Amino acid sequence: MKITYLSVMEQERKNQFKNGLYDYVTVTMAYDTSKIEGSTLTLSDTQSLYERNLVPTGGHSVDDIIESKNHFELVSFMLDTMEEPFTERLIKEFHQMLKKGTTDEKRYGVGRYKGIPNIAGNQKVAQPYEVPELMEGLLEKYNLLPSVDLEDILSFHHQFELIHPFQDGNGRVGRIIMLRESLRNDVTPFIISSERREEYINGLKKFSDDSSILMKEATLQQEVFRDIAEPFIQHYKKEATFKRDNSHDR
């Protein structure tokens, strides 16, 4: 069996292994992706919420806490559905899981496309009536690719954010999709750091004219992920080799 980032995360989750790669991805992803959107939770708050269901510091909105807890579940759900086809239904389920129990659920509904025009910063995005056709076309084109590499994943992300299909939560859904597709296609995953928010947003804005800006950011974060993950990969490779060698001795 080939040892991959995905196989390590799945094994750790199954065995409820603490403080490993799965926990790192779950906490770091929830923190950074939420911080990019303005969450007030610190990394230590997020870690404590994950491990002890407790936020040590005050002054946080209830939605920030709920969405962070939802994101922990979302990472697990992403792994549960890794073998499912990449469809609009799955993307809507990601959104529903992220936003359940928030004020947006009562205000707009969750797990369904937007019904009111919105905007991404100063970026014009698709109108509500355009979303179904655009999403169908985006997924059809992506799913027909013979193989998927980093640039394909970033291109999908850029187009998804230009469509901005949901009333809110588009960035977080878009980034969990990037994580899923990296793991699924054996591309080194990356978690966009909240400290690199401006560079990431700039890369998205300029992607059509110069994809190298966002590629550079993703590659930078791939290096961070690779450094964190390498000890776990090596451990499970040694473990697999030991089991294989011992089985031959029987």
Provide the CATH topology of domain 5-238.
Fic-like fold (1.10.3290)
CA distance 42 to 63: 15
Q: Was 175 annotated as part of a binding site?
A: yes
- What's the CA dihedral at 144, 149, 150, 153 to 10 degrees? 10
By CB atoms closer than 10 A (0-12, 13-18, 19+), residue 232 is buried
CA distance 143 to 154: 14
Domain spans of the chain, in order of start? 5-238
Q: Was 246 annotated as part of a binding site?
A: no
Q: Was 115 annotated as part of a binding site?
A: no
| Helix pair angle (150-163, 131-143), 10° resolution | 170
CA distance 189 to 8: 13
pLDDT attached to residue 248 = 56
User: Which helix (H) or strand (E) covers residue 176, if one does?
Assistant: helix 170-184
pLDDT attached to residue 218 = 98
Q: Was 174 annotated as part of a binding site?
A: yes
Q: Was 171 annotated as part of a binding site?
A: yes
pLDDT attached to residue 123 = 84
Q: Was 111 annotated as part of a binding site?
A: no
Helix, strand, coil % in the chain, rounded to nearest 5: 65, 0, 30
Q: Was 203 annotated as part of a binding site?
A: no
Residue 150, strand partner residues? none
Burial 235-248 (b: 16+ CB within 10 A, else e): ebeeeeeeeeeeee
Those residues whose C-beta lies under 8 Å from the C-beta of residue 25, and which sit 6 or more positions away, are: 9, 75, 179, 189, 191
Give the residue numbers annotated as catalytic, written as ranges: 164
Q: What is the pLDDT along the chain (250 residues), one digit of tens a residue?
A: 789 999 999 999 999 999 999 999 999 999 999 999 999 999 999 999 999 999 999 999 999 999 999 999 999 999 999 999 999 999 999 999 999 999 999 999 999 999 999 988 888 999 999 999 999 999 999 999 999 999 999 999 999 999 999 999 999 999 999 999 999 999 999 999 999 999 999 999 999 999 999 999 999 999 999 999 999 999 999 988 767 767 655 5
∠ CA 215-220-226, nearest 5°, is 120
